[in-house]
Structure 1
Amino acid sequence: MPELRQDPVSQRWVIIATERAKRPSDFKPPHKEKNGNANCPFCPGHEKETPPEVLAFRAASTEPDTPGWQVRVVPNKYAALTASGEVGRESKGIYQTMTGTGVHEVIIEGPDHDTFFSALAPEHAVQVLKAWRQRYLQLKRDKRLQYIQLFKNHGPTAGASLEHPHSQLIATPLVPAAVNREMARLKAYWQEKESCLFCDLIEAELETGARVVAFNKEFLAFCPFASRFPMEMWIMPRRHQASFGACEDEQLEQLAAILQDVLDRLEKAANDPPFNLVLHTAPLRQEDSIYHWHFELLPRLTIVAGFEWGTDMYINPTPPEIAAQSLNEIKLDQESQAEANRRV
């Protein structure tokens, strides 16, 4: 029978539609035609086609906005918010407006047009995360800003308009309503249990193991109990931290490793599906809160349609236990093949 499950964080209900259950391998994303790198503004040699870089990890002998970089951060040419001006707010009857003050940047993750994050050399993947952290900490100093959202869109249906591997950052002058709701839920849980809801989630998932995909010294990746999408995964630090900006170098190395692992498994399990990877972190002026930062990985294997928009309930045809099993089978197959290669 179908089952309704409630997410303990958002308290959103999800329908696990077991009557039409699917394994991840049953999903076949539409074939994606590659545009190539001939006119890609993110490729080396095209640096003048982007706004001037605000951060780059590059060879010491190279000049800004020239080839020779490994990771490059530039303002978004078509920014959603503008970095100039002060924050202004105005009320018009029941309506409120604010000036569109903020920051919108693109993190170009490498010079190779076709090498995605999961295939980067480990030290290169860490450099990408260091660029995320460095821009987070730099923008945190801007008192106009209240929240920083890091995210990665992969594939056109997930919102990626360019193929070249990249992620984005948008800093806003207010705390988004969804973040405020999550904060309120965590505060209520703390008042009732005197513990962190996310810390308790980590303990519960490690204890059962049924939805665990990967873990290392610092991080746990699992398919959440009330997954909205097939193969949805949350990647959480096992130590309690409110802000991504507090992440230490050792943690970034472990985070890069687990992100590369789960993204590689997702690619193999579902034929390189479109996905969104989004950061959940404490608001900038509330980094001493009881929040617990984490990433959510949201594959776009089902269509969000009228029922979901009308109810804020999702229909997921793949129970998270089956999704985790499929993702773990990918790892077991890789280990078996590696063992067979060693014996040859």
Structure 2
Amino acid sequence: MAELRYNPLLDDWTMVSAKRQNRPDMPKDFCPFCPGSGKVPDNYDVLLYPNDFPVLSQTPPEPDDVGGGVYKTKKAYGQCEVILYSPDHQATMPDLSRQHMNQLIDLWSNTYDRLAKQQTSEYVMIFENRGKEVGVTMPHPHGQVYAYPFVPKKVRTELDACKAHYNKTGRNLFDDMLDEEKASGSRVVAETAHFLAYIPFFNDYPYGVYVVAKQSITSLNDMTEDVRYELGHLLQDVVGGMDLIYDKVFPYMMVMHPAPVNDADAGNYYRFHIEFYPPLRGETSIKYNASSETGGWAAANPTKIEDNAPILKAKIEAFQEKKEKGEKECR
């Protein structure tokens, strides 16, 4: 069974799919995403792979007859795609060449564009889960793309706050946030011509970086090719810097937040951005969301952001130097 169940307390939908409980942990001697597995081509750079355990599909089954009254159900229309970053089982995003990263950005953009055009799509989210600390069962480098038949609750909350700010001030809230972060400077970790990367003033994760477009951009497809590639290289630098903090692969959840696909006015008050949720609060310590955070959505950060940002900034700069030197040696 796969269906959507309405939560009347939060005015939100829960995706339910018992089939996903059968997702396997990857055997030590086999990976379906590696060439030679019979599941993927023997030669590829990046690859779009259909999700073997989708919670959303274009041909969903009828919901179970368990709802009633305020408990509504509906078909789980949508799409779930997997994007493989590389045939190399060990090569995560920072390991890719800049040209290879450009190919990944192109595949993200093309997949977003295709899914946004589906009649059932209201929101398309590109994301990546990295590391066993966030529950990854398939460690081969990959991300996912979901096309939802609704706008997720957190995005709706952001949109409502941005609309309220725009109606009150006539300004885009993200512009005002960028102004505050640049004026402070203490939380900025990297900057390019079109993007600012920083750990926000309010963030509840020690290294919870936001990457925010400086201009009125609401999706990958609002960007020129050069700007998309700039974003891809910046993501490599941010993640590469994270990996240098403890000299190991840094776990995180990364989520791209575009505007809803049918919101033509979103450019006035909203902005494309990427949010990182890295769970480490120390080399071997995990920041768990306990009762207050989970039950009350009362965010808490066990560290000081202004102490963390300079550490990450220095590591990003070290990674950039290392990456540039490696690229030159390969020419």
Alignment match of 1:288 (pick from 252, 265, 277):
265
Q: Which moved more, 1:187-196 or 1:92-101?
A: 92-101
What is the alpha-carbon root mean square deviation over aligned residues? 2.7
- Spell out, residue by residue over 1:242-298, the C-alpha distance to the aligned partner (whole angstroms, 9 max, x if none): 223322211111101111111011111133231000011111111431320100011
With over 3 angstroms needed to count, the CA separation of the structure-2 counterparts of 1:195 and 1:265, relative to structure 1, is same
Alignment match of 1:326 (pick from 284, 304, 311):
311
In structure 1, the residue matched to 2:327 is none
C-alpha contact 2:190 2:316 (8 A) present in aligned 1? no
In structure 2, the residue matched to 1:80 is 55
Structure 1 runs, 4 residues or longer, greater than 6 Å off: 335-339
Look up the SS of the partner of 1:132 in the other structure: helix
Deviation at 1:86, TM superposition (A): 9.5
In structure 1, the residue matched to 2:86 is 110
C-alpha contact 2:197 2:209 (8 A) present in aligned 1? yes
Question: Aligned pair 1:226/2:202, yes or no?
Answer: yes
Alignment match of 1:194 (pick from 167, 170, 182):
170
Aligned counterparts, 1:239-278, within 5 A: 239-270=215-246, 271-278=248-255
In structure 2, the residue matched to 1:68 is 43
Consecutive unaligned residues in structure 1, runs of 5 or more: 1-34, 50-64, 340-344
Deviation at 1:45, TM superposition (A): 1.9
CA distance in 1, matches of 2:150, 2:124: 10
C-alpha contact 2:132 2:251 (8 A) present in aligned 1? yes
With over 3 angstroms needed to count, the CA separation of the structure-2 counterparts of 1:105 and 1:201, relative to structure 1, is same
- Spell out, residue by residue over 1:284-324, the C-alpha distance to the aligned partner (whole angstroms, 9 max, x if none): 11143132010001101111111211221122122111111
CA distance in 2, matches of 1:243, 1:337: 30
CA distance in 2, matches of 1:221, 1:338: 18
- Spell out, residue by residue over 1:180-218, the C-alpha distance to the aligned partner (whole angstroms, 9 max, x if none): 221111110001110100111112211221100000111
CA distance in 2, matches of 1:266, 1:335: 12
C-alpha contact 2:253 2:278 (8 A) present in aligned 1? yes
C-alpha contact 1:109 1:128 (8 A) present in aligned 2? yes
Consecutive unaligned residues in structure 2, runs of 5 or more: 1-25, 281-286, 325-331
Q: TM-score, normalised by structure 2?
A: 0.81
- Amino acid paired to 1:268: L
Deviation at 1:79, TM superposition (A): 0.9
- Amino acid paired to 2:55: A
CA distance in 1, matches of 2:151, 2:106: 24
Q: Which moved more, 1:270-279 or 1:145-154?
A: 270-279
CA distance in 2, matches of 1:338, 1:79: 36
Q: Which has the higher relative contact order, 1 or 2, with Cα contacts under 8 A spaced 6 or more apart?
A: 1
Question: Aligned pair 1:152/2:137, yes or no?
Answer: no
CA distance in 1, matches of 2:115, 2:274: 20
With over 3 angstroms needed to count, the CA separation of the structure-2 counterparts of 1:246 and 1:333, relative to structure 1, is closer
Aligned length: 292
C-alpha contact 1:265 1:330 (8 A) present in aligned 2? yes
C-alpha contact 1:231 1:323 (8 A) present in aligned 2? yes
